[in-house]
Structure 1
Amino acid sequence: MTPARILIVEDDRVVARDLAQQLATMGHSVVGMISRGEEAVLHVVELRAELVLMDIRLEGETDGITAAQEIHDRCQIPVIFLTAYADAATVSRASRAEPFGYLLKPFEELQLSTVIELALHKHRAERQLRASEQRYATTLSSIGDGIISTDAQGRIIFMNPAAEALAGWPRPEALGRSIAGVFRLAHHITGEAVEDPVLLALRSGQAAGLPAGTLLLTRHGRHVPVDGSGAPVLGEDGQVIGAVLVFSDMTRWREAEEALHRARTELAHAARMAVLGELTASIAHEVNQPLMAAVTNAEACIRWLTGPAQDAGRAAEAARRVVRNGSRASEVIASIRALARNEAASMAPLDLRSAIQDVLVLMQGELQRAGITLRTSLAPALPMVRGDRVQLQQVLMNLVLNAREALGEAAPDGCIEVAAQPAQGQVTVTVADTGPGIAEDIVARIFDPLFTTKPGGMGLGLSICRSILDAHGGQIGMRPRSPSGCAFQITLPEAKHGPSDRTTA
C-alpha cells in the first residue's frame, strides 16, 4: 500500500469521521475534512492533498461533481466519488468529471483500500505520461525544421513553431484541418501541384520524400522552396494511425548556391583578366601609403640632422618611423600575395581601436597636405575582434583613400569622419566623407570585381575589401549622407574566447 495525503469532502460529519479513522488505519494521512464543494476547490492545493474522497451531494451551491471537475481542471489531483446515488443520470454526469474511482455507500474497507491504491497508481502513470509528452513536445518545438503530425485521415494534430512560421498558419487555426489545406505544394518551374508526402505515406504505409524543386505555397501567398519527407506512424497492430512530416526552408541554400555560381563566374572572368595587371595595380595602391610615409619621415630625419636646429633624438625617432613604414609595406605585400594565392590568413584576437589608429597616423600627413579635416569617434573600450591585422588595416586604408579621392585635390572644406562603436555582439566601423556621393544607378555595383568609376582604376579595391570581410565573418555596406557624401560601414563579430585559428582568406 502506498500512503497518501487525502482530503475528505463530506457534509455528514459522522461519515467523515468514520472515513478518516478507516484511512488512518490503512496508513494514510487525512489533511482535512470539508463539507462544501467550493471550499474544497479553494483549499485542495493549500492542503497539499494527493487524493480527494468526494461525496456527490454536498451543502452549498457547488455539488461534488462540479467541485471534482474544477479540481481536475485546475490541479489534476485525482478524485474518488463516494456516494449513495447510482442512478444513470448521476453516473453519466459524474463520468464527465473523469473520476479515478466510484464507490457506492455502504462499502467495505477492502473496497476502499483497493480503489484508493488503483487511483494513486493510475495518477502516477498519467503524470509520467504527461511529463513524457511535455518533453517530446518541447523537443519538437525547439527543432529548427518544420514538423507537422496528422491522424489517419490526414487531419493536423500537432504543428511546431517552425512549421507555423513557414506555412503561415497559427497552430490553433491549423489543428483539425486537412494537411492538404495547410501544406500546399507546387513545382517551381511548371507550377503544377505536388502531392503531399503525408498523404502518400498514409496511403502506402511507407516514407515518401518531396521531389526536387518543390515550392511551399504559404497562407500569405509566398513561395518558399522546401525539402522534406513524410513517414507513417504505426499502431500496435501494425495499422497506419497517422503520419509525421518534417520539412526545411531551402531559401538560404538556394541563395548560397546562386551566390556560389555567381562567384565562380566572377572568378573565371577575373582570371581571364589577370594579364592586365590587376594584382600589380592592387599592390601599388596598397603599398603607396607606407612608402610615402617612409619618404616623409626620411626627409624629417635629414632636416633634424643637417638643419640649423639639429636634434639627434628627433632624427632617431624619425628613422625608427621609417623602419616601421618599411615593415608595414612588406606586410601589405605579403598579405596581398596570400590573398591572391587564396592562402590561409593568420586569425587572432585583435585590438581594432589600435589598428585603426595606426592607419590614421599613416594617412594624417597626406590628408593635412590636401587640406582635409580628419575627425574620429572611437569608443574608448571596443570589444576585441578576431582577424588578420594587416588585412583589416588594408580595408580601412582603402576606404580612407577612396574618401580622399572623392573629395578631390582641392578640398579646403572637405572632411573625413572615422567612427567605431560596439553594437550587439559586433563592432561597426564607419568611414564617411562630405564628397559628391555615389550615383544611385551604380550603388548596387560598386563592390563588383573590375567595376570602377575612376579614370585608370582597376575596380579591385572595394571587391578586395568585401572578400577580406567575408573571410572574417563580417560585412560591408554603403549609404548616402545628407546633404552630400557617402558613408561606408563595416561590421565584424566580437572575438570569442579561444585559441587562435586559421581560415581561408
Structure 2
Amino acid sequence: MIAARILIVEDDRIVARDIQHQLARMGHVVVGMSASGEDAIRLAGCHRPDLVLMDIRLEGEMDGIEAARRIRDVHRIPIVFLTAYANDEVVQRASLTEPFGYLLKPFEEPQMRTVIQMALYKHASDAKLRMSERRYAATLASIRDGVILCDGQGRVDFMNRVAETMTGWTAADAAGQPLASVFVAVDEETQEPLEDFSTLVLRSPDFAPPERLSRLLPRGAVGDDSTTKPGVVATGAAAPGIVIEERCSAIIDDRGEVVGSILVFSDLTQRRQIAEALRKAQADLAHIGRLTMMGELAAAVAHEVNQPLMAIVTNAGTCLQHLSQPQPDLARTRIVVERIVRDAQRAGDVVRSIHALARRTPADPGWVDLSALIADTLALVRAELRRARVQVETDLPQGPPWVHGDRVQLQQLVLNLVMNAIEAMTAPAVTERRLRIATNCGDGRIRVRVEDTGVGIAETDVDAIFRALYTTKPDGLGMGLSISRSIVELHGGWLTAAPGPSGGSVFEFVLPVSPGGE
C-alpha cells in the first residue's frame, strides 16, 4: 500500500473527523482539513498534498467542483470526490476536472482504501507519462531535423522549432490544420505538387513510404488570394523554397491500427553545398596531383638521364682529344664515337622507360636473365667502382628462372642501387668498401640482395627514403629510390631497405619469375 499525505475538504466536521481516523488506520497522513473551497485552495498550495478528498457540496460560494478545477490547474494534485448524490449534471461538471475517483457517502473503509490506492497509482502513472512526454518533446526540439506529428486524420498535432522555421508556421497556428496546408511539398524539378505523407502512410503496406526528395515551399508560396487559384504554386524567376529529404512513419496503437504519423525532414542545402565544395576540392587535388606527377617526372628524367649524358660528355671529350692529334687514331676514335651513340641510345631508352613508368605500364616487356643483367650493369659502372676503390663480390647463378619485364627499367633499378651503394661508401669515415650482390630463387620468386659497407641507413629513414623528392644527400634529387620502388612494384614485386648487420645498408627486391624464356 502507498502511504500518502492527504488533504480532507468536507463541510461536515463529524464526517471529516471520521475520514481522518480511517485514513490514520490505513497509514496515511492528513495534512489538513477544510470546510470551504477557498480555504482548500490555500491549504493545497501550502501543504502540496499527494491527494485531496473533496466534498462536492461545500460551505460558501465555491463548491468542490470549482475548487478541484483550480487545484488541478495550478498544482496538478489528484482529486477524489466525496458526494452523497450524483445526478447527471453534477457528474458531467465533475468529469471536466478529470477526477481520480468518486466515493459515494456513506462509504466503508475498504471502499475508501481501494479508491485512494487506485487514485495514487493512476497519478503516479500520469506523472511518469508527463515526464516521458517532456523528454520526448525536448528531444524533438533539440534535433536539427524538422519534425511534424499528425493525428489519424492527417492534422498537425506537434511541430518542433526547426519545422516552424522551415515551414514558416508556428506550432500554435499549425495545430489542427491539415498537413497538406502546413507542409507544402512539390517535385524538385517539375514543381508539381506532391501528395502529403500523412495520406501516403495510410496506403503504404509497411506504414512507412520510401524516402523522397522534394522542395518545401514557404508559407504563402501557394496561392490563397483572389489573384491566384488555391493550390497553385506562385511562380517567379527562381524556384521558391528549399530542397529537403522527407521520411515518414505511421504511429500504431496497441490494436495495430494507424492513429497518426510522424514526418521528419532535413534541409539539404548545406549538405549539397558541402558536397559541391568536396567535389571542387577533389578536382583541385587531382589537378595538383597531376602537376606534382609532372614535377616528379621531370626530376626523374633529370636524375636518370644524367648518367648517360655524363658518359656522352666524357666520351666526346676523349674523341676531341684523339682528333686533335697530328695523326688521329681513327680506329680508337671510332670506338669512342660508338660509345657516344650507345650512351645516347641509353639516354633515350631511359626517357622512354620513365615515361612508361609514369603510365604504370612496362615499356618493352620480355624475358630477362636477371643475373646476366646485373653483370652487364656492373660492367657499365666499372670505372666508378675502380675510382671509389670498391671491392665487388657477386653470387649470380646463371640461366633460368627468368623475370618477365622491361630490360631497361630493370637495369635502371640495379644501376640505381649500385650507384647509391658506391656513393654511400665514398665517405672518408668508411675504411672498408665492399659491395656484394647475390641472387637466389624460391617459391616462384627471385630475390636480389645488394649489400654495402657504407654509412648505413637510420631506422627512422627506412620508409622515408622511398618517398619522391626525399634525400639525405646535399646535392641529391631524391628520385632514385622512388623510381626504383615504382619499377619493382610495376613488375609485381617489392623493394625493402634495412641497416646492415655490421654497418652499411641492405637493399633487397623480390620479383616473380618464370621457369622458361623466349
TM-score by length of 1: 0.51
- Any conservation in 2 of the 1:186–1:193 contact (CA below 8 Å)? yes
Q: Any residues of structure 2 matched to 1:236-385 within 5 Å, and which?
A: 236-263=254-281
- Any conservation in 2 of the 1:202–1:242 contact (CA below 8 Å)? no
The equivalent of 2:172 in structure 1 is: 172
Report the CA distance shift for 1:264/1:22 in structure 2 as closer, same or farther (over 3 A): closer
Report the CA distance between 1:81 and its aligned residue: 0.9
Instruction: Give the secondary-structure state (helix, strand or coil) at the position aligned to 2:124.
Output: helix
Q: Any residues of structure 2 matched to 1:378-393 within 5 Å, and which?
A: none
Amino acid at match of 1:142: S
The equivalent of 2:146 in structure 1 is: 146
The equivalent of 1:93 in structure 2 is: 93
Q: Any residues of structure 2 matched to 1:25-44 within 5 Å, and which?
A: 25-44=25-44
TM-superposition CA deviations, 1:377-425 (whole Å, max 9, x none): xxxxxxxxxxxxxxxxxxxxxxxxxxxxxxxxxxxxxxxxxxxxxxxxx
The equivalent of 1:9 in structure 2 is: 9
TM-superposition CA deviations, 1:275-326 (whole Å, max 9, x none): 999xxxxxxxxxxxxxxxxxxxxxxxxxxxxxxxxxxxxxxxxxxxxxxxxx
What is the rounded CA distance, in whole Å, between the counterparts of 1:218 and 1:80 in structure 2?
49
Amino acid at match of 1:193: P
Report the CA distance between 1:157 and its aligned residue: 1.1
Match of 1:231 among 215, 231, 249: 249
Report the CA distance between 1:79 and its aligned residue: 0.8
Amino acid at match of 2:194: V
The equivalent of 1:458 in structure 2 is: none
Gaps of 5+ in 2: 222-239, 296-518
Instruction: Give the secondary-structure state (helix, strand or coil) at the position aligned to 1:46.
Output: helix
Report the CA distance between 1:232 and its aligned residue: 1.2
What is the rounded CA distance, in whole Å, between the counterparts of 2:33 and 2:134 in structure 1?
34
Report the CA distance between 1:82 and its aligned residue: 0.9
1:64 correspondence with 2:64? yes
What is the rounded CA distance, in whole Å, between the counterparts of 2:254 and 2:100 in structure 1?
26
What is the rounded CA distance, in whole Å, between the counterparts of 2:175 and 2:163 in structure 1?
12
What is the rounded CA distance, in whole Å, between the counterparts of 1:175 and 1:23 in structure 2?
45
Amino acid at match of 2:28: H
TM-superposition CA deviations, 1:13-58 (whole Å, max 9, x none): 2221121112112211111111110121122131131111111111
Query: Aligned residues: percent identity?
Result: 51
1:73 correspondence with 2:68? no
- Any conservation in 2 of the 1:51–1:120 contact (CA below 8 Å)? yes
In our comparison, the structure showing a higher alpha carbon Rg is: 2
- Any conservation in 2 of the 1:152–1:202 contact (CA below 8 Å)? no
What is the rounded CA distance, in whole Å, between the counterparts of 1:6 and 1:275 in structure 2?
85
Amino acid at match of 2:241: H
- Any conservation in 2 of the 1:149–1:243 contact (CA below 8 Å)? yes
Report the CA distance shift for 1:256/1:172 in structure 2 as closer, same or farther (over 3 A): same
TM-superposition CA deviations, 1:409-462 (whole Å, max 9, x none): xxxxxxxxxxxxxxxxxxxxxxxxxxxxxxxxxxxxxxxxxxxxxxxxxxxxxx
Instruction: Give the secondary-structure state (helix, strand or coil) at the position aligned to 2:130.
Output: helix
What is the rounded CA distance, in whole Å, between the counterparts of 2:57 and 2:246 in structure 1?
57
- Any conservation in 2 of the 1:11–1:36 contact (CA below 8 Å)? yes
What is the rounded CA distance, in whole Å, between the counterparts of 2:289 and 2:27 in structure 1?
88
Amino acid at match of 1:47: H
What is the rounded CA distance, in whole Å, between the counterparts of 1:271 and 1:117 in structure 2?
77
Report the CA distance between 1:220 and its aligned residue: 5.2
The equivalent of 1:480 in structure 2 is: none
Report the CA distance shift for 1:240/1:266 in structure 2 as closer, same or farther (over 3 A): same
1:209 correspondence with 2:210? yes
Amino acid at match of 2:268: M
What is the rounded CA distance, in whole Å, between the counterparts of 2:80 and 2:278 in structure 1?
68
Report the CA distance between 1:184 and its aligned residue: 0.9
What is the rounded CA distance, in whole Å, between the counterparts of 1:211 and 1:91 in structure 2?
51
Report the CA distance between 1:269 and its aligned residue: 7.1
- Any conservation in 2 of the 1:202–1:243 contact (CA below 8 Å)? no
The equivalent of 1:82 in structure 2 is: 82
The equivalent of 1:133 in structure 2 is: 133
The equivalent of 1:400 in structure 2 is: none
State which drifts further: 184-193 or 169-178: 184-193
What is the rounded CA distance, in whole Å, between the counterparts of 1:80 and 1:270 in structure 2?
79
Q: Any residues of structure 2 matched to 1:389-404 within 5 Å, and which?
A: none
What is the rounded CA distance, in whole Å, between the counterparts of 1:20 and 1:163 in structure 2?
53
Instruction: Give the secondary-structure state (helix, strand or coil) at the position aligned to 1:45.
Output: helix
Instruction: Give the secondary-structure state (helix, strand or coil) at the position aligned to 2:266.
Output: strand
What is the rounded CA distance, in whole Å, between the counterparts of 1:105 and 1:35 in structure 2?
17
RMSD: 2.4
Report the CA distance between 1:199 and its aligned residue: 2.0
What is the rounded CA distance, in whole Å, between the counterparts of 2:183 and 2:210 in structure 1?
14
Amino acid at match of 1:161: R
- Any conservation in 1 of the 2:32–2:43 contact (CA below 8 Å)? no
- Any conservation in 1 of the 2:212–2:247 contact (CA below 8 Å)? no
Amino acid at match of 1:257: A
Residues paired across the two proteins, number: 277
Instruction: Give the secondary-structure state (helix, strand or coil) at the position aligned to 1:68.
Output: helix
Report the CA distance between 1:175 and its aligned residue: 1.3
TM-superposition CA deviations, 1:199-228 (whole Å, max 9, x none): 21122243123434x211121545111012
Instruction: Give the secondary-structure state (helix, strand or coil) at the position aligned to 1:23.
Output: helix
TM-superposition CA deviations, 1:226-249 (whole Å, max 9, x none): 012111121212121111111101
TM-superposition CA deviations, 1:60-105 (whole Å, max 9, x none): 2211000011111111111111111222211221111111111121
What is the rounded CA distance, in whole Å, between the counterparts of 1:276 and 1:124 in structure 2?
76
Report the CA distance shift for 1:268/1:121 in structure 2 as closer, same or farther (over 3 A): closer
TM-superposition CA deviations, 1:452-500 (whole Å, max 9, x none): xxxxxxxxxxxxxxxxxxxxxxxxxxxxxxxxxxxxxxxxxxxxxxxxx
TM-superposition CA deviations, 1:337-372 (whole Å, max 9, x none): xxxxxxxxxxxxxxxxxxxxxxxxxxxxxxxxxxxx
What is the rounded CA distance, in whole Å, between the counterparts of 2:118 and 2:283 in structure 1?
73
What is the rounded CA distance, in whole Å, between the counterparts of 1:184 and 1:123 in structure 2?
41
Amino acid at match of 1:41: I
Report the CA distance shift for 1:264/1:120 in structure 2 as closer, same or farther (over 3 A): closer
The equivalent of 2:182 in structure 1 is: 182
What is the rounded CA distance, in whole Å, between the counterparts of 1:99 and 1:230 in structure 2?
37
Instruction: Give the secondary-structure state (helix, strand or coil) at the position aligned to 2:141.
Output: helix
What is the rounded CA distance, in whole Å, between the counterparts of 2:72 and 2:130 in structure 1?
14
TM-score by length of 2: 0.50
Amino acid at match of 2:256: G
What is the rounded CA distance, in whole Å, between the counterparts of 1:74 and 1:29 in structure 2?
22
Instruction: Give the secondary-structure state (helix, strand or coil) at the position aligned to 2:274.
Output: helix
Instruction: Give the secondary-structure state (helix, strand or coil) at the position aligned to 2:45.
Output: coil
The equivalent of 1:414 in structure 2 is: none
Instruction: Give the secondary-structure state (helix, strand or coil) at the position aligned to 2:53.
Output: strand
